[in-house]
Amino acid sequence: MQAELIAVGTELLDLGRRDTNSEWLTERLSRSGVRVVGRALVDDDEERIAGHLRSAVARADWVIVCGGLGPTGDDRTREAVACALDLPLERDPGMEAELRARFEARGFPFDARQARQADRPRGAVWLANPIGSAAGFLVEAVGARVAVLPGVPAELKTIYSGSLAPLFGEGEAPVRRVLKVAGRPESWVDRRVRDLYAMPRGRVTVLSGAEGVEVALQVETAKELDAVESTVTERLGDDLFGRDDDTLAGVTGSLLEAQGMTVATAESCTAGLLAGAITSVPGSTAWFRGGVVAYADEIKIENIGVMRATLECHGAVSAEVARELAAGVRKILGSDFGIGITGIAGPSGGTAEKPVGLVHIAVDSDPGCAERVVWLPGDRDLIRRRAVTAALDLLRRQLLGSR
Amino acid sequence: MQAELIAVGTELLDLGRRDTNSEWLTERLSRSGVRVVGRALVDDDEERIAGHLRSAVARADWVIVCGGLGPTGDDRTREAVACALDLPLERDPGMEAELRARFEARGFPFDARQARQADRPRGAVWLANPIGSAAGFLVEAVGARVAVLPGVPAELKTIYSGSLAPLFGEGEAPVRRVLKVAGRPESWVDRRVRDLYAMPRGRVTVLSGAEGVEVALQVETAKELDAVESTVTERLGDDLFGRDDDTLAGVTGSLLEAQGMTVATAESCTAGLLAGAITSVPGSTAWFRGGVVAYADEIKIENIGVMRATLECHGAVSAEVARELAAGVRKILGSDFGIGITGIAGPSGGTAEKPVGLVHIAVDSDPGCAERVVWLPGDRDLIRRRAVTAALDLLRRQLLGSR
């Protein structure tokens, strides 16, 4: 079963506002096996609300509209729903009497504006609102059912739980897992799993971010999840570093801890972000010694022991300097692993030979020095975050090898 | 002028995801006087994308569609746009050759999947993407113009700023401004501006984040904006560090550069994130020397010169250790300013006397040492980011004083 949500309210389009009603409904619907396939935010404009609703009912089994049911002039949802579904709006005398009684009991005036809350499209069924004055309503459209709820979060939740959730039953929720890949581009992962996109009863999505590539699996049952997860796991092998809430820094930290090893960092272009990522994990003091941010060349030489000749001969962005940074910081800070990073984060400073995005990484340890050179896409921020991911992944693969 | 936004991606409907692209576009469009009157999120379903687009072009002057332009099988936006606007999808041989050349230069395979990124609806104009492979495009529909952009945030922003913003005539009549405050809590700012919330023809919003507190002003005319901005500026004084796209690291860096000064960092709890923030600014090599991440106490002693007696007597999280970190790193790395940070980022390690969130910061320079102690709210990540903000702000205030 598929649903679309429409949240109404000019203020929802303001900067910094979150549409928390739709987030809450998405979660509750997914628990009942109803998949939200579209969400819209629309301002308090009757025609636009009607336009969104008209197109949503043509696509989904259920449409839930939230907000714009109150008594003020900019509350236009009732009228918009009636217009979109081509139904007359009618006042329900029973509801009007009930509202009048509620208001009078509290000593509030009950005027024509309040009375509008007793209007509903012909054929609609009220959804009782025990904690507020605007009731919701349910109405059948051609091909879809439309539920209309007030936008006040507490009222929306009460009405949903009391009147709508029972209609959806306790269907088994879709089962979901995210598998996480580092050190491989999105296209590489795509080639390995693309035949699964056409899976009949589930969904496989590949998503790329600065922390790596994610493969999201969504199926109907736990058994199906096990099957598709083991297929993907087998195909991706060690390129998979974790799942769901795992982070690359967390997984790498656990490997260090399990092997009783420590690490130290010497960073040029990432300038502390690698150390920051490693220590994002609580308890990282057990495996992280510290680091040097060697931005100026003098610091690479004087504080880490990179040779001036190496800098002059190969340039600051070179495999040789990455190697000397890694070995140098390992020695100075007394750790089992040393990581060196040097690269060109841009936006300026690139050349034809050494373009923006070129990053050299080295991981030094007793068995020797592992190296990786990458040419990373993106702006300054993305290049630096991707360089951190590449460095953590190189360390992780060294730790897997030494297991 | 009115715009609607359509963000494409099944993952955007996942729980806990924010549609940051639409938030960013809403803000940028509002600066050009274009009002966003509707936003939709839709999964990677070609028919549903087309359905949303068809109804949006009937309502708005502009429709901006983001996401689903990549090479993988679930990227269906090109096809959906062509279908919705009833235009054939055509491959552009020039774009295909350009993409092929880019891929081959990096040694990546260029296959049929990648070539799809050279497809566009007939009559569409490419919007150049200098930092990624999927270009955007602009196409005329009946009654509206449709811009289609990739969903990768950095690429979307680059293309918008480079190719779309000029069409809207950005900067002509600014009716919106964000003023940025550091070093003060939200409640402090709120008390100083709350009488402005009731302003008849505008809106003042206070928003708190890890980078400080923002005061957003939205009014009808440039003249009104000047008036309310100068009121707020006068009330907040030096607590304001910048406006709109200014960052605290950028503003602080500019002050350092203007005074010909340099800085170095010695970080414990933030472990490199302060150095990372300082170097997020292009050209920071002019004012940033480098830093030491002194996570283990031995490193504080051996590599920065904190006295063992200070650590034993006052503990690692103390004003005294922050001061010795600042003075030590300044001396070792030869900078004009040295910043020391030590604190308890949690989740464990707090005591009644030194709770989680307690952070000591010191900025050492020729005239002496400035200090700040803060008790920061939030989880480990927020505490560390807020500590970076507090440290940058302390340095900024020193630089303002020495102006």
pLDDT tens for B173-226 read 557 788 999 988 888 898 899 888 777 777 787 877 788 898 988 887 888 889
Q: What is the CATH number of domain A2-168?
A: 3.40.980.10
DSSP codes, B167-231:
HHTTTSS--EEEEEE-SS-HHHHHHHHGGGGG-TT-EEEEEEETTEEEEEEE-SSHHHHHHHHHH
- pLDDT reported for residue A173: 58
CATH number for A248-401 (one of 3.40.50.1370, 2.40.50.140, 3.90.950.20, 3.30.930.10): it is 3.90.950.20
Tell me the per-residue pLDDT of B373-398, one tens digit each, with 9 for 90 and over: 999 888 899 899 999 999 999 999 99
Q: Is B58 exposed, middle or buried (0-12, 13-18, 19+ CB in 10 A)?
A: middle
Q: Does the CB of A23 have a partner CB in chain B at under 8 Å?
A: yes
Task: Indicate the residue of A58, A59, A378 with minimum beta-carbon distance to B131.
Answer: A378
Nearest to B54, CA basis, from A143, A84, A55, A37: A55
Pair B38, A41: CB distance under 8 Å: yes
Joined together, the tokens standing for residue B263 give 């800085």
Q: Do A15 and B26 touch (CB under 8 A)?
A: yes
* Rounded Cα gap, residues B189 and A356, in angstroms: 41
pLDDT of residue B67 exceeding 60: yes
- pLDDT reported for residue A93: 96
* Chain B residue numbers touching A15 (CB-CB < 8 A): 23, 26-27, 30, 205, 207, 216
Q: Do B265 and A279 touch (CB under 8 A)?
A: no
Chain A residue with minimal CA distance to B278? A271
Question: Which residues 6+ apart lie within 8 Å of A144 measured at CB?
Answer: A56, A57, A58, A60, A61, A62, A63
Candidates B11, B46, B279, B381: best to mutate against A (most CBs of A within 10 A) is B279
Q: Is B249 exposed, middle or buried (0-12, 13-18, 19+ CB in 10 A)?
A: buried
* Rounded Cα gap, residues B89 and A236, in angstroms: 34
Q: Do A15 and B36 touch (CB under 8 A)?
A: no
- pLDDT reported for residue A16: 62
Q: Does the CB of A286 have a partner CB in chain B at under 8 Å?
A: no
Joined together, the tokens standing for residue B323 give 């001061």
Q: Where are the domains of chain A?
A: 2-168, 175-243, 248-401
Yes or no: domain A175-243 corresponds to CATH 3.30.70.2860: yes
Tell me the ipTM for this assembly. Answer: 0.73
Joined together, the tokens standing for residue A41 give 């935010």
The distance of B114 to chain A (nearest Cα, Å) reads: 9
| Interface A-B: count of C-beta contacts within 8 A | 236
* Cβ atoms within 10 Å of B283's Cβ, excluding its own: 15
Q: Is A334 left (phi over 0), alpha (psi -120 to 50) or beta?
A: left
Q: Helices (H), strands (E): how many in chain A?
A: 15, 17
Q: Does the CB of A199 have a partner CB in chain B at under 8 Å?
A: no
Task: Indicate the residue of B51, B294, B384 with minimum beta-carbon distance to A55.
Answer: B51
Which fold does the domain B176-243 belong to in CATH?
A: Alpha-Beta Plaits (3.30.70)
Q: Do B282 and A348 touch (CB under 8 A)?
A: yes
Joined together, the tokens standing for residue B200 give 């008849």
Of A189-203, B62-76, B231-245, B283-297, the range with the lowest mean pLDDT is: A189-203
Q: Does the CB of B27 have a partner CB in chain A at under 8 Å?
A: yes
The distance of B290 to chain A (nearest Cα, Å) reads: 5
* Chain A residue numbers touching B299 (CB-CB < 8 A): 289-290, 333
* Chain B residue numbers touching A325 (CB-CB < 8 A): none
Q: A402 or B270: whose pLDDT is higher? A: B270
- pLDDT reported for residue A118: 96
* Rounded Cα gap, residues B141 and B50, in angstroms: 13
Joined together, the tokens standing for residue A193 give 């799993």
* Chain B residue numbers touching A379 (CB-CB < 8 A): 131, 154, 158
Chain A residue with minimal CA distance to B111? A187
* Rounded Cα gap, residues B273 and A292, in angstroms: 12
Task: Indicate the residue of B15, B42, B54 with minimum beta-carbon distance to A38.
Answer: B42
Q: Does the CB of A190 have a partner CB in chain B at under 8 Å?
A: yes
The distance of B299 to chain A (nearest Cα, Å) reads: 7
Q: Does the CB of B58 have a partner CB in chain A at under 8 Å?
A: yes
Question: Which residues 6+ apart lie within 8 Å of B82 measured at CB?
Answer: B88, B89, B121
Q: Does the CB of B20 have a partner CB in chain A at under 8 Å?
A: no
* Chain A residue numbers touching B271 (CB-CB < 8 A): 272, 275-276, 278-279, 288, 291
* Rounded Cα gap, residues B116 and B110, in angstroms: 10
Q: What's the average model confidence in pLDDT over B111-136?
A: 93
* Chain B residue numbers touching A279 (CB-CB < 8 A): 271-272, 293, 295
* Chain B residue numbers touching A180 (CB-CB < 8 A): none
- pTM, to two decimals: 0.73
For chain A, the distance separating the N- and C-terminal CA atoms, rounded to the nearest angstrom, is 47
Candidates A292, A306, A373: best to mutate against B (most CBs of B within 10 A) is A292
pLDDT range class, residue B16, cuts 50, 70, 90: low
DSSP codes, A133-153:
S--EEEEEETTEEEEEE-SSH
Sign of the torsion formed by the C-alpha atoms of B270, B276, B279 and B285: positive
- pLDDT reported for residue A170: 56
Q: B27 or A400: whose pLDDT is higher? A: A400
Q: Tokens 């990549």, residue?
A: B70
The residue ranges of chain A whose pLDDT is under 50 are none
Interface list for A 31-50 with B (CB within 8 A): 36-43, 45, 47-48
* Chain B residue numbers touching A293 (CB-CB < 8 A): 265, 272, 275, 279, 290-293
Pair A340, A329: CB distance under 8 Å: yes
Q: Do B276 and A278 touch (CB under 8 A)?
A: no
* Chain B residue numbers touching A271 (CB-CB < 8 A): 272, 275-276, 278-279, 288, 291
Interface list for B 88-117 with A (CB within 8 A): 106, 108-109, 113-114
* Cβ atoms within 10 Å of B168's Cβ, excluding its own: 18
Pair A296, B290: CB distance under 8 Å: yes
- pLDDT reported for residue A108: 80
Interface list for A 137-166 with B (CB within 8 A): none
Q: Does the CB of B195 have a partner CB in chain A at under 8 Å?
A: no
Q: For B68-112, list the strands marked E by DSSP.
A: 89-91
Task: Indicate the residue of B41, B216, B280 with minimum beta-carbon distance to A38.
Answer: B41
Interface list for A 227-266 with B (CB within 8 A): 265
Tell me the per-residue pLDDT of B276-320, one tens digit each, with 9 for 90 and over: 999 999 999 999 999 999 999 999 999 999 999 999 999 999 999
* Rounded Cα gap, residues A19 and A8, in angstroms: 10
- pLDDT reported for residue A391: 98
Nearest to B342, CA basis, from B265, B285, B277, B289: B265
* Chain B residue numbers touching A341 (CB-CB < 8 A): none
The distance of A271 to chain B (nearest Cα, Å) reads: 5
* Cβ atoms within 10 Å of A143's Cβ, excluding its own: 10
* Chain A residue numbers touching B104 (CB-CB < 8 A): none
Joined together, the tokens standing for residue B33 give 């006087």
Interface list for B 289-328 with A (CB within 8 A): 289-296, 298-299, 303
* Rounded Cα gap, residues B215 and B244, in angstroms: 10
Q: Is B349 left (phi over 0), alpha (psi -120 to 50) or beta?
A: left
